[in-house]
Structure 1
Amino acid sequence: MNSWLRFRPNLLPLLLIVVATTVVYAGILGHDFLVTWDDNFYVTENPDSWGFSWQNIRAAFSSFYIGNYAPVQILSYMFDYSFWGLNPFGYLLTNICVHILNGLLLYRLLSQWHNDRVLALFATAVFLLHPVQVESVAWISQRKNLLALFFLLLAWEAYCRYRNAQPTQRRLIYLASVVAFVCSLLAKSMTVVFPLMLVMHEVCFHQPDGKKRYLDKLPYVLAAVAVGFMAIYSERPDIGSGGRTGFHGGSLWATFLTMLPVFCKYLKMLFWPFGLTAEYAPTIYTTVAGEVVFAGILLAITAICGFLLFRYDRRLGYWICFFWVGLLPLSQIVPMLSLINDRYLYISIIGVAAFGGGAFSRLSRLHDGRFATLAAVAAMVLLCGLAAISYSQTLIWRDSISLFKDVVQKTPASDRGWALLADAYRMAGDVESVKKTYESALIVNPVSPIALSGLGNFLTEQGDLEAGNRILLQLLQVKPDHATGWLILGDNRLRRKDYTGADQAYKRSLEIQPGAFIVYLHLGSLELQRGNTGLARNYFNKVAVRDPYNSVLAYQLACLEALDGRNDEALFWLNNAFQRGFRGYAELGNSEFLKNLSNDPRFAMLIQQYFSQEGLK
């Protein structure tokens, strides 16, 4: 009853914040999956996420998805699929709900720690309505961000209860906190810094029992270390198809110089959130330039101000530390392909929001509250402005084409942005725009690996094998260790019936990335075309060890069994392929390997079952 009485005055402003957040994000419920940007790997082409089953749950906990070990994320998609199938409406609705829940949990924690209603309300509103949050909410694949914070806040809430609980209740509540933190890590590993946040909180805030406790942080540290090493491993391109790369600029020093302006860019994004987009093209610095010096001075001034604030008011200074600690896992300590993204601020922004809330609360109390009305009006104007910018930002996330059109408009120097736009056109079937857009990428960067490999692959798929071969050779001349380039070159040669050349290209790709099991799938296809079913089976078995639920693998095994005259086994694998999401209509109609099944009534029943509406060409 007492807690309800304390909460009641906050109900209306909190309700208004929730309504404002709902209004800002309601428009995304009509958006599509971003099928050229991870949504295909996580949902639309990933049978592991299509509803709850022991097979899918096992796959979620035993597989890497685009370099991420994130079983909690995949489980959440199973939940969505159970209600909505492959309708993006439901997935985006879940994103909005989790984002709002995160705001409410944040409000509760801030209220407990600061006993300041104004601070908590302002910080919650900034967290929910700031434009940098749009990427995490409007992009289905970034469910991991939302869930990571959700479970982290639950872990923190349980930890606070553990510190306040009676001795007989503490153990169970503490266990719940640790379990929630593990779930956070299994959604996205960026929360590995939570133990450090707990230690800082121990130092900066008065604890209920008046004691400083550090030993009880050890289980959190162990969990963070274990998942951190798992994340580093899974991000290897040859293991989990992740984004780990070499140091930007070729050295640790160059990466350090490059990150100084990037950190300043993050500050600008928070305080001047205009021009936000899905891809940025930060300058790579290998020597100390003027912009690097300026960024270093600005960051030094920020650090000094933060230190002085920390000495003056530890509780408020804590949030400055929180912001920078939250960015640590995303600071290229382990080099990753992406240097900067809006979504990297999803958790860190809490530090800035809480600090801003504290500053706003103090301003409203100056001179016995004479500035309260002025401060309230200023806050309303600020929050309405953030909400308006966020709403306009949601519009660009409608589909892949609108998203990457925005990227190339705001960041025309991003060859990656142009290449991703070309890929979006390819998925939409706009063949004419694909080639032009790849050529635009090559104007920006004539040796762009992503543009050259994409164009080479597109030309190969279109049957312009000579032009595709020329582009791919150009790529490999510039970047001879481009594993994907060699893989596509192998496909090009396979289409030209150059089996020896295809074999050499595939094996070169495998030499560069020994753990890239997908290459074995292509080698198996090559041997299948050669008629070497035994060798093909060996390659397919290697794929099955790493990705046993791969739909293309199941289809290839069906072709292999049909070629060997084992119709029962062929039909078993064909049904398996369809269940896993294989929808290669053209391949089914043109496959020489499946001709042996054409007279089997069970084959016709399978086609009728899975393709009754599409038809088989």
Structure 2
Amino acid sequence: MVCQWTALTGEFVYDDLPAAVENPNARLPLRLRQILTEPYWGLRPGTEQISLIRPVVTFSFAVNEAVTGFVPTGYRAVNLFLHSVASCLVMLIASVVGVPLLWSFFAGVLFAVHPIHCEAIAATANRTEPMCAVFYLGSLLCYFLARSATKRETAIGMIIGSLALFSLSLGSKEVAITLPVVILAIELMMRYVRVPSPWGRGFLNPAATVGDEIGHLPTARTLRVPSPILPPLFGLGLVLILLLYFLYRSMVLTSPFSANVSPGDNPLIGSAGLERWATPFSQIALATELLLYPARLSVDYTAAVVPVVQTMADWSFLAGVGCLGIVVVGLIVAVRRKNIPIIVGLCLLGGSYALISNTVILATIFFAERVMYLPSAGFSIVSGALLASVRWNRSKLTTTLVGVVVVVALGVLAVRSWERNKDWQNDERLFSSSLFARPNSSRLHTNLGRLSMLNQNWELSVLHLDTALRIYPENAQALMLRGQLARRMSNSEAAIEYFDRANASLGGKHGRALAELCSIYSERKQTEQAGDVCRRAIRLRPDHPDTWTAFGDFANLQGDTGLADNSYRRALDLEPTNLHALNRLGRLLAETHKYGELLDIMFRILEQNQGNAALIHDIEGLTMKVAAEAVRTKDIGLARTILSRARDKLGNPERWNNMIGELP
């Protein structure tokens, strides 16, 4: 695992922020009820509609903070540990199903060093992949051990272990629902190739391969039947757990079996005919490329990165058909030759890939390297089984040549992982390296445009955002950022155009775009237009602080200071650190001469702007003004409290102590 050590250094990146950093359920103190009843990213504005529930992973984040502290290295170390366990499980499963020990070890090493797994290790939010894989593969291993057990007690123990691990895998990621399908496929294949009946009546002898001559795949042996009722009980247990899982999702999620996905995330949304059913084959070609030649790795594979198939002559479609054909032919040959390891590996590869293949259902994202984590376990087992099938005793030269190729290939993959993990040091490096590999990514240009905005590099931000919109004109996020950039440049006409386009891209239901329009029209004192978009924004996004802040601007425009005050405070109830709402409320309090409350607001602003000399100067002046007013009204206790807070938060305690000492 040395090649993955470079994943341990770096910042929280990309989806780590909403999943682990900003999500209160993933932080201390432990909020067990919310972990079990709220979506993966919590119930914060913009995340409440996410149709993902992964309580096991969210719980692990909170435990992670308690054990290692809130530092990225601690979180990444846990991911790396889980990846190590998953790699060992790949090796054990390969050995149990009949791959010779040497090539079982190869399968585990291949899985451990493959660069396609960097995304699952280096990103805290992607802990879902290795954690689900550990429980998924552990459950599969227990199934194999139960299937070949000679004692009833052992078989029952393995069954219980398999079901328990299956439950935990479901709590880690949704792909775990494929496990019963994989097990069923393996059982059917076993019966078809006439391997003696399962569950003690003749499965693989795991120990037989260790001392076998290399090149001979295992045979079956007859074992004593522990209990004929165990197989149906195991199957019933899997089905019952699945039903309970679906019931659980329907109880805690607003959309338990569907998701609000935009065409930017998955270009197959709303497609039909050739586009809908041919494009998944180009996805298969991409997955095969990354498994066999992981050179062009990227954090994004959304719209335009993998073009939608328009014709049957598309090379990516034909390549995908060819790859699928090879897998099908390989499975047929394995069945005919009774090659159990390849059957198991292909069932694991195909079964775990099916859910994210955009064939059975449309996935929430078109493709990502992390979703290949479980399928690559099957790929590794198949690779080990194929190498075990080579007749190594043909010639010494052949043996040496193949051995050198294998070692060099593993070394190249390890070096690629070492270098790829470095790209996950921070967002800018991650997005830049990914864009170099996949230059047609509208999302990567958008993300780099956002980072350039934060760094106040307006020219570079415009370049990236305009490129993003050329690639994908309906990119709502790029349109929003372009509109915000236009506002900062005092170009309200252009801002209105971009926000209108962003709203139109979501069918007129983009609450945040409407809130921005509300704010602009209020600034321009266009009461009629402001009233219309402000009310629509409130109806669509009453849960977002920016909506209430914009509505407060509109109320202030109408002279309703009470409604404006309530709106700004509603925004701060939703997000207490929202600087825009704090500034707006502070301005309103100053206009209405509520200096005591204004001082509270200014201290809250100071908490987010430590060391701001101008702000500290303003707070000092306001503190003395409010303290003097308290003395005038003979409220000496209030004056002492105000001056004491200034002493504790503004520094220069001697000055403030002198003032406190001079109080009556």
* TM-score range relative to shorter protein: 0.7 to 0.9
2:296 partner SS: coil
Q: Which residue of 2 aligns with 1:47?
A: 24
How much does 1:435 deviate?
A: 2.2
Task: Kindly indicate whether residue 172 of structure 2 is the aligned counterpart of residue 187 of structure 1.
Answer: yes
**Counterpart position of 1:127:** 111
1:465 counterpart = 2:497: no
CA contact (8 A) 1:133 1:346 kept: yes
Tell me by how many angstroms 1:335 deviates.
2.9
1:345-366 per-position Cα deviation (integer Å, ceiling 9, x unaligned): 0110011110000011121645
Bigger Rg, which one: 2
Is 1:233 the counterpart of 2:258? The answer is no
Q: Deviations over 1:51-104 (max 9, x none)?
A: 243xx3333223221523222222222123224443212121221111112112
| Equivalent position SS for 2:255 | helix
Q: Deviations over 1:118-143 (max 9, x none)?
A: 23211111111111111111122211
C-alpha distance in 1 between matches for 2:602 and 2:200: 64
The answer for the alignment partner of 1:486 in structure 2 is 514
Give the Cα separation in 1 of the matches to 2:645 and 2:189: 65
Which letter does structure 1 place at the counterpart of 2:287? Y
1:342 Cα deviation (Å)? 1.0
Where do 1:420-499 residues align within 5 Å? 420-460=447-487, 464-476=491-503, 480-481=507-508, 483=510, 484-493=512-521, 496=524
CA distance in 1, matches of 2:143, 2:176: 16
- Whether 1:308 and 2:293 are equivalent positions in the alignment is no
Are residue 415 (structure 1) and residue 394 (structure 2) matched?
A: no
Instruction: Tell me the equivalent position of 2:181.
Output: 196
Aligned partner of 1:215 among 236, 258, 263 = 236
2-structure distance, mates of 1:47, 1:608: 31
Residue in 1 that maps onto 2:661: none
Report what 2:125 is aligned to. 141
Report the Cα distance in structure 1 between the residues aligned to 2:126 and 2:151, rounded to whole angstroms.
Answer: 38
> Is the Cα contact below 8 Å between 2:549 and 2:580 reproduced in 1?
no
Q: Unaligned stretches of 5+ in structure 2?
A: 42-46, 202-227, 628-637, 653-664
Cα shift at 1:267: 0.9
**Pairs within 5 Å for 1:395-414:** 395-414=422-441
Matching residue of 1:12: none
Per the TM alignment, residue 371 of structure 1 is displaced from its structure 2 partner at its CA by 5.0
- Paired residue for 1:269? 290
1:222 partner letter:
L
Contact 1:401–1:421 under 8 Å retained in 2:
yes
* C-alpha contact (below 8 Å) 1:421/1:437 kept by paired residues: yes
TM-score, normalised relative to structure 2:
0.73
Partner residue, 2:10: 31
Counterpart of 2:225 in structure 1 is none
Q: Helix, strand or coil: the match of 1:351? A: helix
- 224-233 vs 350-359, which deviates more? 224-233
Report the equivalent of 2:306.
282
Letter of the 2:188 counterpart: V
The corresponding residue for 1:522 is: 547
Q: How many residues align?
A: 575
Rounded Cα–Cα distance in structure 2 between residues aligned with 1:146 and 1:75: 15
**Aligned position for 1:505:** 533
- What letter matches 2:441 in structure 1? S
- Which residue of 79, 90, 113 corresponds with 1:106? 90
Task: Select the structure that is richer in helix.
Answer: 1
1:182–1:223 contact (8 Å) kept in structure 2: no
Instruction: Name the residue aligned to 2:320.
Output: 295
Letter in 1 for 2:272: S
Over 3 Å counting, the alpha-carbon distance change for 1:131 and 1:605 in structure 2 is farther
Shifted more, 189-198 versus 352-361: the winner is 189-198
Counterpart of 2:532 in structure 1: which amino acid?
Answer: Q
**Inter-CA distance 265–300: structure 2 relative to 1 (3 Å threshold):** same
Q: How far apart, CA to CA, are the structure 2 residues paired with 1:558 and 1:59? A: 31
Identity %: 17
Residues 246 and 335, structure 1, Cα contact 8 Å, conserved in 2:
no
Q: CA deviation at 1:471?
A: 2.2
Are the aligned partners of 1:155 and 1:180 in contact in 2 as well (CA < 8 Å)? yes
Distance 1:289 1:27, change over 3 A: same
In the alignment, is the contact (CA less than 8 A) between 1:396 and 1:402 conserved in 2? Answer: yes
Residues 573/382 of structure 1: CA separation in 2 closer, same or farther (3 Å cut):
same
- Taking structure 1 as the reference length, what is the TM-score of the superposition? 0.78
2:353 is aligned with what amino acid?
A: L
Aligned alpha-carbon RMSD (Å): 4.5
Letter in 1 for 2:335: F
In structure 2, relative to structure 1, the CA distance for the partners of 1:87 and 1:118 (3 Å cut) is same
- Aligned CA distance change for structure 1 residues 367 and 62 (closer, same or farther; 3 Å): same
Provide the rounded CA distance (Å) in 2 between the counterparts of 1:244 and 1:442: 15
The code of the aligned residue for 1:32 comes to: E
Task: Call closer, same or farther: CA 1:609–1:373 in 2, change over 3 Å.
Answer: farther
Q: Given that residues 132 and 270 in structure 1 are in contact (C-alpha distance below 8 angstroms), is that contact kept between their aligned partners in structure 2? A: yes
- 1:344 to partner: Cα distance: 1.2
How far did residue 417 of structure 1 move? Answer: 1.6
SS in 2 for 1:114: coil
Mapped to 2, the partners of 1:588 and 1:287 lie a distance apart of: 62
Q: Distance in 2 between matches of 1:611 and 1:168?
A: 69
Aligned to 2:631: none
Q: Distance in 2 between matches of 1:606 and 1:151?
A: 52
Greater Cα shift, 40-49 or 391-400: 40-49
**1:611 offset after TM fit, Å?**
9.3
Supply the distance in 1 between the matched residues of 2:169 and 2:405 (Cα, whole angstroms).
36
Deviation at 1:30, TM superposition (A): 2.3
Q: Report the equivalent of 1:71.
A: 55
Unmatched 5+ residue regions in structure 1?
1-20
Instruction: Give distance in 2, aligned partners of 1:566 and 1:235.
Output: 50
2:275 alignment counterpart: 254
Question: How far, CA to CA, are the matches of 1:606 and 1:41 in structure 2?
Answer: 33
